[in-house]
Structure 1
Amino acid sequence: MKLVPKHIWFVCVMLFSTVLLAQDNSRSLNSQPKFSVRGSVVESDSKNPIPNVNIEVNGGSYTTTDSNGNFRIEARKGDELTIKHKDFETVYYTILNNERIKVEVQPSIEDVKYSKKKYSRTNPELFKSLIDSAETYLKKDAKRSVQFIEKALGASNSSKENGEAYEVLGDIYLQWKQFDLAVSNYRISLQNTSTNIVKLKLASAYKQNNNYQESLQIYNSINKNQLSNWQLVELYEGLGDVNLLTKSYQASINAYNEGLKVAQKHLISPKVTDLNSKIAQVYNAKGETQKAKGFFDESLKLANNENKKRAVEEKIKVADFQNETNNYSGEIQLRKEALKQISEIQKEAVLSNESALTAQKQNYKIGNAYASQKDYENAIPYLKKSIEEADTKEDLIVQKDATRRLSEVYRDAGEFDKALVAYQSYVDLVDQLYSKKEQEISQAARFSKDIVSKQNRILSLESDRALSESKYELNIEQTKRQNIIIYSLIGGLVLLLVAGFLMFKYIKQQRLANNLLALKSLRSQMNPHFIFNALNSVNSFIASNDERAANKYLTDFSSLMRAVLENSEEDFIPLEKEIELLELYTKLEHFRFQDKFDYNITIDKNINKNDFVIPPMLLQPYIENAVWHGLRYKKSKGFLDIIISQSTPEEIKITITDDGIGREKSKALKTENQKKQNSKGMGNIKKRVAILNEMYKDKVDVFIDDFQDEEDTGTRVVVTLKKDYKINELRFLINDF
């Protein structure tokens, strides 16, 4: 009898335990007992109870608070409690046990009195106090901060104040990683008041939103002679960052060096350290580790002359570099030094779990470095310390990683029992982290929805304000025109030019509107020939007592009709939806003519279906022609082949081929009525393509030719579809009209 090696036995035990744990977790999630949760809802300032508050559990239970603000509701551990009322913002609370819950809420921003003094709209103190309040809440409560900006815009009386308000709004979104909204508000700020500070912020927001070319364009457009020394360093640093992200390493080094020269000349010490560190990172990315080491040594020496936090940050960066170059001894030494300084920093400030400076992360990386050297005796204590600290600070991510690494170290050290215990702990932590991430995703979705809603309200306010200002300026202009007769002729000429421009714009918009109307009309004309034949097929199935086939066909047909009606109001739909319609339609035709043809639909796996949009039911007439006028009359069984491929990154080709009798034979077989029907169908699609190409500058191309040189020539239709329709621009023009 052969003995099973220990490492194989360990793997088997771990796999078996993982299955048991997964089954136990699944059963426990579904069998959590319900318990009664009691709580109350009161105002945070006055502590007065709030009656008639909506209390709901995501599992379905619902109740309201009584006159004393109290409530009781049935729930399970892990359920989310939603607390809603018209006088305060919705509160979400995750239930952990049956402890009593006390919810303190703040009144809506509309009910807050900013000062005992009654401000008028023209009082500049009101605007300043609102901006200050927004900046106070900027890092603590994004929604409340945005509400203060909304009020500040209502109190604004100049373009300068508007620019300041939108700048702070951009800062809020940048802080909360809503980079696209930050970009929008910085741009609005610049439209009101153009400043270099906001331009630098806009370039940075573009960079963080991955709009690298736009970021470079803004940085390069700034007049360097108008910048302060600090701003000039920021500009070069930003250029270096963008070029590093786009892997333009030499351009990145050049930009960092320019910034370094300015920082050294004007003794901007923090930036000298930062830029040395960043140049080192670029050389490391290029694979020039010796040059990277030289700059890292310099940045580490400079950082030691700054504050403790900056010194520790640089030590950790250099330690990460040592890890990448497998210099584990150097890495361990730096991280141990950093650990001592981190304990001092924590006495003065609280470090969040997201910070790279936490003790649990450094202990984990020290243990990992020892393990990489196969020094398991030293690795185990540091990994255990990391797990304990992560557990204390509720850092599940580090706790999970350290536990997994500890299990691996025990395994490599031959302590399989301890490895199995550690691995089981790791599995439990993965489940906890998964549950936590689900809650965070749900909360992030709500947060994003609330923020977008508030942003839309602010933009609406800005539109109303702009309209009021336009009316006011128009009245002033009319008064001036009445008093300045000498300029009447010039004014008349200006008005004539404006009228001509408006007329040109109106005609252009009218043409676009007519095109859209024509498209809508053509979309609504789905081929009645297909519908009539489809219903006849259902009738024939019923007549032959084939109810199963009739029901199946009618079900698929109704699905197709529903999809067509849902897309009937859309100018364009995603390519993915059109493919679904095409597959369903082809399936229906094959169902009716199974003895006449087979078909295949091939889609290039490299195509990103979300990158392309297509007019709805653009391809259906070509499929119908292939079946009804080509394959149906073929003596032998034919084949319909549909291929969707990507010829270039900017366009795709949809090729529809059939080996039917061909266009010439089909034309000879048609009756006068059939010729008329086909003419209408193809005429419809030609009009649609012509209108689309007129509106979007040749974005759709259709080529039709014979498929082969045999007796049955067949037909090939190639539809070329280009990306980047300027749909949003067109709709903006139509809405403006």
Structure 2
Amino acid sequence: MKRLLSVSKNISAFETCSYALNALGVIQRNISKYDEAIALHEEAKTYADKAKSTEFKIISLNMIGVVYRRMDMVKLALDHHTEALKIAYSVINPSLAVTKNIAVSQNSIGNIYLALKQYDLAINQFNKSLEIEKSIGNKLGLAINYHNIGYAEEAKGNLSSALSNFQKSLDYNNMIDSETGRLICYNSIGEVYLKQENYEEAEPIIKEALNKALNIDDQYYISASYLNLGQLEIETNQLTSAEKHLKKALDIATSYNLKSTVAESSKLLSELNRTKKDFETALKYYQQAVEIENTILTEQNLQYVNDIAVEYENENKNNQIKALALENESVRLRLERNKQILLYTSLLIGIIGISLFIIHRTKALKRDKHILTLEQDMLRSQMNPHFIFNSLNSIKLYIINNDKTNAVYYLNKFSKLIRKILMASKEKETSLKDELETMKLYMNIENIRFDNEINFNITVDPAINTEATKIPSLVLQPFLENSLWHGLSSKDSNKKIDLTVSKKLPNFITVEIIDNGIGRIASHKINEKKKLERNSVGIDITKARLANFSESFQNSYTLEIEDLYEDETPSGTKIILHIPTKLKANITI
């Protein structure tokens, strides 16, 4: 949204600026940053005025009213909602957005009546909003209005009717998969159960509501959930826990100026301290509750609401009559202007979208080409003709010597290895379990040429789930080949390779390959004479594959090679490979 706002400002797309600012304001409201939310919605209204957009002005006014209503600032909330209604009713043949906002205004005015305990007036407004939402098939609006009707019925003492409306609201929230909607319904259903003294059913649903509120991180609903949990614990005589949770509700509500919740939590803390016979503290909390309620429920506020309600009903009719005479011309001009804005905005967004797609596609193709090249190089490295030729020669020697058992045994191993290599060439990654099994097969075949002199051991930390852990396929083979042909091939006896898999670092698995060969310095001298380069190329390919594999993880791989010494004499080489296991979080743009 910030990016959209920046681009829209640069091209003076004022309606889009208003849209983006309202969206940012809703985000701030949902995390209880009300002052920031109001500032953003006010700026959105300014851009709506610049664009001369009736729709976006109505939306901005309603959004400001919703924030003030959350803060229990009745007059300011009502002023903005009624202004939105006046403008909306002046529109002939209103668009879907204008119709939705008429419903929003009426719903919000109903909520203001709720705060002022004018329940019948509130239900009347909710029913008006409900009819509009039904006509346009807006499930979110239906969920909100059914919940609000349930709240008013609950306040009137009609608990069965309240529970029925809350359940309807929950059904619609489940249809649209709204986690916030479910949280609100759970809190309300829990409150009804409390009033019915059905504590067994109240407890799990109230605790579930608190968990959802904490996950969403909306302080308004977090404070409401702690309030319900504290009330439940008072009823079930868990006074210590109740006091803790009610104080949390009070602290949050005070911090975010949530007056209704401050009043309710203060009342319950007063009741709790009276039960504990701490009458002084009980009186203090009760006085605080009364003081807050008096700022909301005043005769002046009630009269103000009634006067405004009558005023906007009358003015709506007058506005509609006046608007009919001018509507045809204004509609034509607005449509022309909106067409131009839509055309330019669509063209710009289309160009940006196509450009981003081309850039993304080009990068993806380059990456896929690079991956394919690496996989082909890897397969060529694993299917080295010398390895295949030498392996088959070793098996042929068993056949010539009429050693059928070993011939069949190693031919079977060889065929399994080739099949695994070919299968691995089709996959970018494999399970650690499959990789270790493939390495056992590889070492079994290679060991034929060493007259089975090599003692190869694999040790895996039991805490590691080898089936769930993914690594690049055949990534360990070049390191084992290096140990064999550069470390052990020139050694006379006592040849050993240990492969250990452990969990030494969080979010990594550590693979250590230790050989007791002649060391890298002596091996380098021998290779210079033989002019061998294949293994170093194989390691380079492996590094590139590991780097590509690591792009999907929070951390990159690391590779360390240590020379081992005994009494300053080279005694082998140690490969330490840290492979990442924790994937990056999904980011939605």
Q: TM-score range by the shorter chain?
A: 0.3 to 0.5
Q: TM-score, normalised by structure 1?
A: 0.37
| Bigger helix fraction | 2
Give the number of the structure whose alpha-carbon radius of gyration is greater.
2
Higher relative contact order (CA closer than 8 Å, sequence separation 6+): 2
TM-score by length of 2: 0.46
